[in-house]
Each structure stands twice: as structure tokens, then as C-alpha cells.
């Protein structure tokens, strides 16, 4: 319905600066004054405005015509409008990338608002006395955050902003007059990706997958320990857009002990719950790696929508972490199985036994698929890069499900040993006389259709097994 004062309808339009949006606002007026919905989340999101989750509202009052402020690029998003008066607004893209230096100007009265992405320089000039310039931001201001600002001189000749009131006649602060020219501006870097558990099998695979990427940081337990809330509090989360949790307590048998139970729940459940809360507060994409162990141990391949019914402490702690991670608005919950990567694992153990002539007994009634850490890292990269729908994804290698005994026999054969020396046994036979063994699922194979629907093609597990064994010393 058209507005009685401005004739405008609510709409959002793009500009030459990527992500910078102009919002036209209906303003309803009569003899008493006017009214507008300055920020209406549901309507504006439907028209394409990002869900930027503002946490602070600031107002700049400008008493005199010609008051000019800027150009300041801040490490957060802003939604700007005018409560009273008029301003001439000018914005320059100071982010690293192809659009660096792009400029946009517009006059803003109460019927116009703008959305300014992180890193786009903001400035304005008051055109009426008593102008109130108001803005919502999605990070709390702090002295530390101010150290991340990027500035540009209001008179920069490259931006060539045509100020309605010449700057020599305008009212500026000395600080704003001293800002650098565009040629001397260090572009604001994009928000980064932080990988936790960077020294494990998946962490090392992600290092290889993202080698050469300057926007990815890797943190081992010495820097960020999921069991230590203080280490999470020490991270400046506003610098990041994505956190990949490759950390986990994976000692399935040790988790059944008193100490192991405590550690498993701290790392696999309490830690991810804290990460989910952090991700929600800072609008982070949370990528969390879980396990096939959380599924009910029933025949057939597990679907992402299957009910969870975990066996044992390890599985229960992972399931609890899954439930917490699912509360993060932006998340990929990646469930995987039988991980093989750089370091000690089932395949390297079998290869060592083959070399030493040891004939092992290996269970043949636990069936699933291997997941090579490099393939898991490739899948995580794919989900992020393709901006796949958020949610839960099963990730493993492809091919027909096989038993652990079949994998062991294949490793023996690839090492030139007698595959027949691997004795297939049942889980009950294997466990007989052994103390402290946790329950293992008999059925670990997972359906991969949801992952494949995003365009990812999992590689065959046996083909990758052959390649992997060939790399072993």
C-alpha cells in the first residue's frame, strides 16, 4: 500500500558496491508528524536484506549544516538511517578484492536507509541543522575493535566525492582530515576461518586442503582447548566467519573409565555446546565433525534423519554435542565413519602386522565404509564453498559397505602378505576375555545421497585404500 507522505513502498535495491544495499522506507504522516518502520526484520529479510543480527544502536546528533564525518570502515555490518533532518552519505569499498575503491553516494532523509557491509567506509555530511543519524551494528564497540578500523581521507581524489558543501567550508575533526589517501590504505581483510583440532588426522588433512590460503588459521589444543572454557573466551571471534571443529575425544574404550568419561563429555559435548553459543552470538558458520556411532545400531544404511540411539559413553557424548551444534543458525554437522589419515589408524596397524608376519583376528560382523581424512576435508571444503543448505550431512568414501576383516585382508594383499592369514571373527569372539572394550556398532554404513545432491562425488573407498597403502613406508 502506498504511503500517504512519500508515496514509497518498502523495497531493497543493490548498488555498485557489492553487498551495499539501499532500502526505501514508507513514511506515514499527518498534521501531527510522521511514523515509519525503520527496521522490520521479517519484511526486509524477505526482500533480500541479510539477517545481520544487530546488537547495538548508536545515534550521531549533528547541530550544524556542513558537519562532516568519516570515512571510517568498521569491522562489522551497519544499518543506517536518519531520524530527523537530511544527510549526504558517501561510501567507499575498503575491503580487499576487485571492488576496492568503488564509491557510492546518496542523499538520505527519513524515507531512505542503507545497509553497509563490514569493511565499507562510511561518511556523511549534514544538510540540515539538528540532524540525527542513527545506525544499528552487529558487534559491540570496544577499544580493541577500533584498532581494526580502516580509514580514508574525505578529500581523496580517486574517490572524487562531490560534497554538497565543500570540505574547506565544512566542519571536520582534525582526526578525519588526517586520514590517508586511497593509495596508502591497507584494505580490510575478510573474516577468517579457524580450524580447531588442527593437529589430528582431519586437521592435518585440512592443512593440505587449504594450503596457501592466507585466510585460514589452524589452532591445536595448546591454543584452543575445548575442555577449557577460558581458552574459548580468549579468542577474538569477531575476526572469524567460520570455525571448523576437527577436535574430539576419540578413545572409545578409554571413555568408559571414570577419567575418560569426564574428558569425553567435556570435549565432545560441553565444548561443542559452547561453540554453538559462540557461533550464534557472532554469526559464525560452525562446521562440526561427528560420528556414525550416534545412530541406532540397526541393519541398513543410516540416513541423516534417522533417530539417534548411541551406544557407550563416547557415542553418547558425541550425540550430545550434535544436539548442541544443531542450535547454531549456520552449521554443517558432518557425521563420518572409520576415519583414515596421517598417523596411527586401523590401516597402518594392519600394514605393520602384515610386514611383521603377524596373523590377526579381525571382526567381520561390523560393516561400514572407510573415510579418508583427505576426502573428509574435501567434502567440508565443498559444503562451505558451494554454500550448501545448512544441516546434517553423512560423509564417507563411496563404494559397497565392507567389514573390518575385508579391509584388513585387502591391506595384507596390498602389502604382499597372505590375505588368508587374517582370521575373520565375530564381535563377541573378538571381545571374549578382553576387559574394558566399549560397545561398537555393527552397522556403520551411511547413505550419501544428501551429500551427493550438493554436487559432491565421494571417491571409492577401496581405490583410495590402494593409493593410501602405496604411500606407507
> Is residue 135 flagged as an active site residue?
yes
Known active-site residue 140: no
Q: Tell the residue number behind the cell numbers 596373523, with chain if given.
A: 359
User: Where are the strands (E) in 201-262, listed by range?
Assistant: 216-219, 240-245
Q: State the catalytic residue, choosing from 72, 149, 382, 390.
A: 72
Catalytic residue among 79, 135, 314, 332: 135
The widest CA-to-CA distance across the chain, in whole angstroms, is 96
Task: State whether residue 349 is helix, strand or coil.
Answer: helix
Nearest to 255 by CA among 312, 170, 330: 312
Distance CA 396, CA 447 (A): 9
> Quick check: 379 and 395 in contact, CB under 8 A?
yes
Measured distance CA(219)–CA(217) in Å, rounded: 7
Cβ neighbors of 219 (< 8 A, separation 6 or more) are 194, 195, 196, 198
Give the residue among 372, 267, 369 at the shortest CA–CA distance from 314: 267
CB 109 within 8 A of CB 161: no
Which triple of cell numbers denotes residue 401? 559397505
Give CA–CA dist 28/351, Å, rounded. 77
DSSP tag of 295: B
38 in Cβ contact with 25 (< 8 Å): yes
DSSP 36-74: --S--HHHHHHTT-------EEEEEEE-STTBEEEEEE-
- C-alpha gyration radius of the chain: 29
Residue where the block lists cell 581424512:
373
Q: How far, in whole angstroms, is CA 351 from its chain's centroid? A: 37
Query: Catalytic site residues?
Result: 72, 135
Amino acid at each position: 500500500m502506498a504511503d500517504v507522505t512519500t508515496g514509497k513502498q518498502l523495497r531493497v535495491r543493490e548498488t555498485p558496491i557489492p553487498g551495499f544495499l539501499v532500502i526505501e522506507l514508507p513514511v506515514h504522516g499527518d498534521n501531527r508528524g510522521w511514523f515509519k518502520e525503520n527496521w522490520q526484520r521479517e519484511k526486509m529479510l524477505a526482500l533480500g536484506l541479510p539477517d545481520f543480527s544487530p546488537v547495538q544502536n548508536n545515534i550521531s546528533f549533528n547541530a550544524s549544516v556542513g558537519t562532516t564525518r568519516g570515512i571510517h570502515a568498521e569491522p562489522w555490518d551497519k544499518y543506517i538511517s536518519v531520524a530527523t533532518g537530511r544527510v549526504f552519505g558517501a561510501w567507499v569499498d575498503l575491503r580487499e578484492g576487485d571492488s576496492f575503491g568503488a564509491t557510492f553516494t546518496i542523499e538520505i532523509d527519513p524515507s531512505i536507509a542503507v545497509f553497509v557491509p563490514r569493511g565499507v567506509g562510511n561518511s556523511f555530511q549534514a544538510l540540515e541543522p539538528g540532524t540525527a543519524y542513527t545506525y544499528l551494528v552487529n558487534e559491540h564497540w570496544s577499544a580493541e575493535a577500533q584498532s581494526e578500523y580502516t580509514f580514508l581521507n574525505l578529500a581523496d581524489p580517486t574517490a572524487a566525492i562531490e560534497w554538497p558543501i565543500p570540505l574547506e567550508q565544512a566542519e571536520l575533526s582534525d582526526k578525519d582530515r588526517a586520514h590517508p589517501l586511497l593509495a596508502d590504505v591497507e584494505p580490510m581483510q575478510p573474516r577468517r576461518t579457524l580450524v580447531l583440532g588442527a593437529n589430528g588426522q582431519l586437521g592435518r588433512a585440512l592443512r593440505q586442503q587449504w594450503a596457501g590460503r592466507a585466510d585460514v588459521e589452524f589452532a591445536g589444543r595448546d591454543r584452543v582447548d575445548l575442555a577449557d572454557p577460558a581458552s574459548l573466551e580468549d579468542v577474538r571471534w569477531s575476526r572469524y566467519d567460520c570455525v571448523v571443529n576437527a577436535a574430539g575425544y576419540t578413545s572409545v574404550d578409554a571413555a568408559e573409565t571414570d577419567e575418560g568419561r569426564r574428558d569425553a563429555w567435556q570435549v565432545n559435548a560441553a565444548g561443542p555446546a559452547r561453540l554453538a553459543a559462540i557461533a550464534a552470538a557472532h554469526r559464525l558458520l560452525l562446521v562440526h565433525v561427528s560420528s556414525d556411532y550416534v545412530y541406532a545400531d540397526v541393519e541398513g544404511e543410516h540416513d541423516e534423519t534417522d533417530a539417534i540411539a548411541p551406544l557407550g559413553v563416547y557415542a553418547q557424548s558425541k550425540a550430545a554435542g550434535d544436539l548442541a551444534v544443531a542450535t547454531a543458525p549456520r552449521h554443517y554437522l558432518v557425521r563420518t565413519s572409520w576415519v583414515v589419515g596421517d598417523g596411527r589408524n586401523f590401516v597402518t596397524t594392519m600394514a605393520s602386522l602384515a610386514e611383521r608376519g603377524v596373523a590377526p583376528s579381525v571382526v567381520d560382523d561390523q560393516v561400514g565404509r572407510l573415510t579418508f581424512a583427505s576426502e573428509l576435508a574435501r567434502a567440508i571444503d565443498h559444503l562451505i564453498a558451494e554454500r550448501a543448505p545448512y544441516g546434517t550431512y553423512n560423509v564417507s568414501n563411496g563404494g559397497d559397505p565392507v567389514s573390518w576383516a575385508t579391509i584388513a585382508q585387502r591391506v595384507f594383499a596390498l602389502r604382499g602378505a597372505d590375505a588368508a592369514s587374517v582370521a575373520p571373527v565375530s564381535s563377541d569372539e573378538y571381545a571374549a576375555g578382553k576387559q574394558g572394550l566399549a560397545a561398537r556398532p555393527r552397522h556403520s554404513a551411511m547413505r550419501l545421497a544428501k551429500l551427493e545432491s550438493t554436487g559432491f562425488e565421494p571417491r571409492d573407498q577401496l581405490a583410495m585404500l590402494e593409493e593410501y597403502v602405496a604411500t606407507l613406508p
